[in-house]
């Protein structure tokens, strides 16, 4: 079939801003979007610029936005992406464009490098035990996490990074988690604690839109990894500041703020139930859900019996 | 001027392994045209060989390697290779590679072609990928300086010793002169001269072309390995691990034809033999539905085993052919995969022809793989000899003075690039590349003969003349991939010329080099390496001795 495809172009030496160019091109069956880009480059415009290498979905070079979603163009058929006569190819989002479809990945690599993405060996070699034994079950738990090929798609489509570039981001956090749960790693949980403590709230900013996991070309379970890190940090007493503070307030006064008489009057007028500071129920909930154990275990040890806080109506 | 004691060109498994070692003691920098994790080492799927099972022996690995190479490999070097293998595997494991395991926690091993033991350590079917990740992690850990997306275009040699390189920095468009006391080439293979290849677009034989132009010979270039199972129509690798796990090869009539060609090893014969067998079936009309393909059948392995051991193969079949290999057989065809020949170096990766030149991995020819490399031996090659080249290069530069840099050579290289950039009319790069790839796949393939090779040589020489006025359409210097493509094409054309001429010259059949007009291996005349030097009137050929130590050449049967 013949297809029209629209490509965002930008030459830093001549263009002030990116613009779109349409190309008409013949697309035989089985043509991938990467084949299509090559055909345009070879036959129509040699200056069309994009990264690619393995063309078998393992090197991570060719992540781009196609019809608004970041994908690997080498493994995507034109026929699958050509919808209602439209195929729009743009560089990845959340990155600075270098030229056409090539973006500057330094921001991404800085995030990756910052999590110390290498094994801190627990054991050194000795003749009796030249390498670490590891069960197939542990291998299974690491396998998908280690599949990340650093293509950058999860940063391109990340809603948290779009609004706050302090967010460490899915690929780097996944890498950190991959080592944190590797029994061979000396740092282990400390990795989560460090990240939890780091300036800029690096690991807490995820808005759980799930784009990273849903768009990951390798099927890496990034959400599971980020949740895992948060759990490791929280269980070690390094929960997000807001979370710990909230549990503390709920434990002490069953509300996040002090409820006054006036507010309860207003509530009654509007037909809403009164808010109380009776925290016996709340404490039971906090214990049952494990939230207090996770956030502030100190509260449980020798905690005073519930009392009625001042201003309470009960 | 940028100056480093050791400059490593290429950041795949061999280059990074060399860098980790060299950076411990010497000022080291890696220059690579793609980011390290994009390197094609990551395309390796099946595994890495080492005799780590107490019931196995490195001596058996040694013999299998020599026999697999049809006795052309140097046996003393293959001994070093196999003896050192277990320690390299242990090291990778300690660095964090997620190897697949057996139930007792040991590294799992699967059978691989041409070997008499289950010797291939693996990480499902992503072994190269996971090794590459781990090596990159170690590069970060050792704080190795990496110049990413710098395309090295020329090796600078003066009076027989290496002085540095010239590199084009993609993001700024600048062309740099880089001084060095030693240069380690680790640029990988050159599959992109073939239409059907498993290789990445980046595999354009830059290192071997640069070494040859700078005065190093190339060794055994005529030996090109065709992997038996490339995804039909794409050439994308489908791992030998499929057959290691028990997959069958079926012809169009549903027969397991390998029983005829390799009665003992069947599907697990060496790659040269399996590829020839597949082509024989196709040529004799027993391909699949009249196409140039046969089937790789995994269906009997079952969903669980396929998804556990071969998940990448499953995805590749789905994404590229739209088939589910749990339910359907996979159409495959032999695909240009690996180049046994390259820059001749010793067991420390050092050139004996140019002082300060080192090479490791696929670009090198040590020679351990001889006329045909066994599956699972190339990843091992990168680790054993990458490390050795790093140690040797670092040792070489200690206490050695930085020699003068011939600026004239840099100016010439800049002029070469400028000429390409300034030309506005002429030959289209894409057309030339397509024509070259068609020529090689049609005429310098699994089965070769004198007249075809003769035609190939003429065709390649004609393309080289046309390439003299090829046109780079992109006229900007920042991230000019069109320019890079033109420079790569020149490397491919040179490499192709030498392969075709070398194949024409070797009038015997040995390993991956099979001549239908010279069917037999001819030890009397051809149990020798071929060495090709750049002469003033084109290539000059010489012969090199093959080192035989333990094993007497015998007929290969599988």
Of A42, A98, A131, Cβ closest to residue B171? A98
Looking at residue A313, its pLDDT comes to 37
The CATH code of the domain that includes B484 is 1.20.58.100
Given CB atoms, is B259 within the 8 Å cutoff of chain A?
Answer: no
Interface of A with B in 105-164 (CB under 8 A): 105, 113, 117-119, 121, 123-125, 130-136, 139, 142-143, 146-147, 149-150
Does A187 reside within a domain?
A: yes
Boundary (domain end) residue, out of B334, B364, B385? B334
Does B541 reside within a domain?
A: yes
Angstrom distance (rounded) from CA A93 to CA A72 = 14
Rounded (5°) CA angle B470-B471-B476: 145
Boundary (domain end) residue, out of A71, A104, A137? A104
Boundary (domain end) residue, out of A104, A126, A149? A104
Of A30, A104, A125, Cβ closest to residue B94? A125
Q: How confident is the model over B19-61, as pLDDT tens digits? A: 999 999 999 999 999 999 999 999 999 999 999 999 999 999 9
Given CB atoms, is B237 within the 8 Å cutoff of chain A?
Answer: yes
Given CB atoms, is A75 within the 8 Å cutoff of chain B?
Answer: yes
The CATH code of the domain that includes B271 is 3.90.700.10
The CATH code of the domain that includes A204 is 1.10.1060.10
Q: In this structure, are strands B248-250 and B294-297 parallel, antiparallel, or unpaired?
A: antiparallel
Nearest CA in chain A to B475: A47
Given CB atoms, is B318 within the 8 Å cutoff of chain A?
Answer: no
Given CB atoms, is A182 within the 8 Å cutoff of chain B?
Answer: yes
Interface of B with A in 488-517 (CB under 8 A): none
Residues A155 and A167 in one domain: yes
Given an 8 Å threshold on Cβ–Cβ distance, is A102 in contact with B479? yes
Looking at residue A122, its pLDDT comes to 81
Does A313 reside within a domain?
A: no
Q: How many domains does chain B have?
A: 2
Contacts of A183 in chain B (CB under 8 A): none
Query: Which residues of B are the active-site residues?
Result: 271
Angstrom distance (rounded) from CA A303 to CA A288 = 16
Q: How many domains does chain A have?
A: 3
Residues linked to residue B534 through DSSP beta bridges, in sequence order: B539
Given CB atoms, is A44 within the 8 Å cutoff of chain B?
Answer: no
Which residue pairs from B506-512 have beta carbons closer than 8 angstroms and sit at least 24 positions apart in sequence?
B506/B222, B506/B530, B510/B70, B510/B72, B510/B371, B511/B69, B511/B70, B511/B72, B511/B223, B511/B272, B511/B340, B511/B370, B511/B371, B511/B372, B512/B223, B512/B224, B512/B225, B512/B226, B512/B271, B512/B272, B512/B275, B512/B340, B512/B371, B512/B372
CA distance, residue A143 to nearest chain B CA (Å): 7
Say if CB B558 and CB B262 are below 8 A apart.
yes
Given CB atoms, is A15 within the 8 Å cutoff of chain B?
Answer: no
Boundary (domain end) residue, out of B286, B301, B334? B334
- The tokens describing B164, both together, are 């540095």
- The tokens describing B471, both together, are 């046109």
Q: How confident is the model over B59-76, as pLDDT tens digits? A: 999 999 999 999 999 999
Interface of B with A in 62-81 (CB under 8 A): none
Of A11, A121, A136, Cβ closest to residue B476? A11
Angstrom distance (rounded) from CA A63 to CA A101 = 9
Residues A87 and A157 in one domain: no
Of B39, B90, B138, Cβ closest to residue A125? B90
Question: Is residue A128 over pLDDT 60?
Answer: yes
| Domain with A256 in it | 241-299
CB pairs under 8 A between A and B: 168
Given an 8 Å threshold on Cβ–Cβ distance, is B38 in contact with A60? yes
Starting at the edge strand found earlier in the chain, the sheet holding B294-297 runs: B224-231, B330-339, B294-297, B248-250
Boundary (domain end) residue, out of A179, A200, A235? A235
Angstrom distance (rounded) from CA B445 to CA B455 = 13
- The tokens describing B433, both together, are 């590349």
Residues B443 and B526 in one domain: yes
Contacts of A51 in chain B (CB under 8 A): 34, 38
Q: In this structure, are strands B528-535 and B218-219 parallel, antiparallel, or unpaired?
A: antiparallel
Per-residue pLDDT of chain B (558 residues; tens, 9 = 90+): 999 999 999 999 999 999 999 999 999 999 999 999 999 999 999 999 999 999 999 999 999 999 999 999 999 999 999 999 999 999 999 999 999 999 999 999 999 999 999 999 999 999 999 999 999 999 999 999 999 999 999 999 999 999 999 999 999 999 999 999 999 999 999 999 999 999 999 999 999 999 999 999 999 999 999 999 999 999 999 999 999 999 999 999 999 999 999 999 999 999 999 999 999 999 999 999 889 999 999 999 999 999 999 999 999 999 999 999 999 999 999 999 999 999 999 999 999 999 999 999 999 999 999 999 999 999 999 999 999 999 999 999 999 999 999 999 999 999 999 999 999 999 999 999 999 999 999 999 999 999 999 999 999 999 999 999 999 999 999 999 999 999 999 999 999 999 999 999 999 999 999 999 999 999 999 999 999 999 999 999 999 999 999 999 999 999
């Amino acid at each position: 079939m013949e297809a029209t495809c629209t490509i965002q172009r930008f030459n830093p030496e001549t263009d002030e801003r990116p613009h779109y160019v349409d190309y008409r091109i013949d697309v035989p069956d089985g043509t991938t979007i990467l084949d299509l880009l090559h055909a345009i480059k070879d036959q129509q415009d040699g200056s069309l610029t994009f990264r690619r290498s393995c063309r078998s979905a393992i090197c991570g070079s060719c992540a781009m936005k196609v019809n608004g979603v970041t994908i690997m163009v080498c493994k995507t058929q034109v026929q699958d992406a050509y919808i209602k006569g439209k195929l729009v190819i743009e560089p990845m989002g959340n990155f600075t464009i270098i030229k056409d479809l090539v973006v500057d990945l330094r921001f991404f690599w800085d995030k990756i490098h910052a999590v110390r993405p290498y094994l801190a060996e627990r054991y050194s070699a000795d003749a009796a035990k030249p390498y670490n034994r590891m069960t197939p079950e542990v291998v299974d738990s690491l396998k998908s996490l280690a599949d990340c090929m650093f293509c950058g798609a999860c940063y391109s489509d990340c809603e948290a990074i779009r609004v706050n570039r302090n967010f460490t981001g899915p690929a780097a956090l996944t890498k950190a988690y991959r080592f944190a749960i590797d029994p061979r790693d000396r740092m282990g949980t400390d990795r989560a604690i460090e990240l939890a403590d780091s300036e800029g709230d690096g690991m807490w900013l995820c808005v759980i839109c799930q784009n990273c996991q849903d768009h990951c070309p390798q099927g890496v379970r990034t959400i599971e990894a980020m949740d895992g890190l948060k759990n490791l940090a929280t269980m070690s007493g390094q929960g997000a500041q807001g979370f710990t503070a909230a549990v503390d307030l709920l434990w002490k006064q069953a509300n996040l703020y002090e409820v006054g008489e006036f507010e309860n009057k207003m509530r009654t007028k509007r037909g809403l139930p009164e808010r109380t500071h009776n925290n016996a129920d709340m404490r039971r909930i906090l214990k049952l859900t494990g939230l207090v154990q996770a956030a502030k275990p100190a509260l449980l040890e020798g905690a005073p019996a519930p009392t009625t806080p001042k201003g309470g109506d009960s | 001027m940028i100056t480093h004691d050791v400059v490593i060109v290429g950041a795949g498994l061999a280059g990074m392994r060399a860098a980790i070692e060299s950076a411990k003691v010497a000022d080291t920098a890696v220059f690579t045209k793609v980011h390290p994790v994009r390197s094609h080492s990551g395309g390796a799927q099946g595994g890495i060989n080492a005799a780590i099972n107490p019931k196995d022996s490195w001596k058996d690995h040694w013999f299998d390697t020599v026999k697999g190479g049809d006795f052309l490999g140097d046996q003393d070097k293959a001994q070093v290779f196999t003896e050192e293998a277990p320690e390299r595997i242990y090291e990778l494991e300690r660095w964090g590679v997620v190897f697949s395991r057996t139930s007792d926690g040991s590294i799992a091993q699967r059978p691989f072609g041409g070997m008499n033991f289950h010797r291939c350590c693996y990480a499902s079917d992503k072994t190269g990928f996971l090794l590459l990740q781990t090596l990159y992690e170690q590069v970060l850990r050792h704080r190795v300086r990496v110049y990413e997306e710098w395309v090295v275009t020329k090796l600078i040699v003066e009076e027989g010793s290496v002085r540095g390189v010239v590199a084009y920095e993609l993001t700024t468009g600048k062309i740099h002169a880089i001084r060095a006391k030693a240069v380690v080439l680790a640029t990988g293979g050159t599959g992109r001269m073939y239409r059907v290849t498993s290789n990445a677009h980046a595999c354009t034989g830059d290192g071997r072309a640069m070494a040859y132009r700078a005065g190093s010979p190339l060794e055994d270039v005529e030996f090109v390995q065709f992997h038996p199972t490339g995804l039909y129509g794409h050439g994308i690798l489908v791992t030998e691990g499929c057959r290691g796990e028990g997959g069958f090869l079926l012809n169009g009539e549903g027969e397991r034809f390998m029983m005829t060609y390799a009665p003992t090893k069947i599907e697990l014969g060496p790659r040269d033999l399996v590829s020839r067998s597949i082509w024989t079936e196709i040529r004799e009309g027993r391909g699949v539905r009249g196409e140039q393909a046969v089937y790789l059948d995994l269906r009997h392995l079952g969903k669980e085993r396929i998804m556990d051991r071969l998940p990448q193969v499953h995805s590749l079949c789905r994404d590229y052919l739209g088939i589910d290999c749990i339910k359907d057989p996979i159409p495959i065809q032999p695909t240009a995969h690996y180049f046994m020949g390259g820059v001749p170096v010793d067991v420390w990766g050092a050139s004996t022809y140019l002082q300060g030149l080192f090479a490791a991995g696929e670009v090198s020819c040590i020679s351990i793989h001889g006329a045909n490399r066994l599956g699972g031996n190339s990843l091992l090659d990168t680790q054993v000899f990458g490390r050795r080249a790093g140690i040797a290069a670092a040792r070489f530069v200690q206490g050695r003075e930085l020699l003068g840099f011939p600026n004239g050579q840099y100016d010439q290289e800049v002029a070469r690039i400028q000429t390409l950039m300034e030309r506005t009319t002429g030959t289209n790069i894409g057309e030339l590349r397509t024509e070259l790839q068609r020529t090689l796949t049609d005429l310098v393939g699994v089965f070769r003969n004198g007249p075809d090779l003769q035609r190939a040589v003429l065709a390649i020489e004609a393309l080289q003349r046309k390439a003299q006025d090829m046109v780079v359409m992109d006229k900007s210097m920042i991230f000019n991939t069109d320019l890079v493509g033109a420079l790569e094409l020149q490397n491919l054309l040179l490499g192709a010329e030498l392969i075709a001429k070398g194949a024409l010259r070797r009038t015997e059949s040995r390993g991956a080099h099979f001549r239908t007009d010279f069917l037999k291996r001819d030890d009397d005349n051809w149990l020798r390496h071929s060495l090709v030097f750049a002469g003033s009137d084109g290539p000059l050929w010489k012969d090199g001795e093959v080192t035989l130590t333990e094993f007497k050449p015998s007929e290969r049967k599988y």
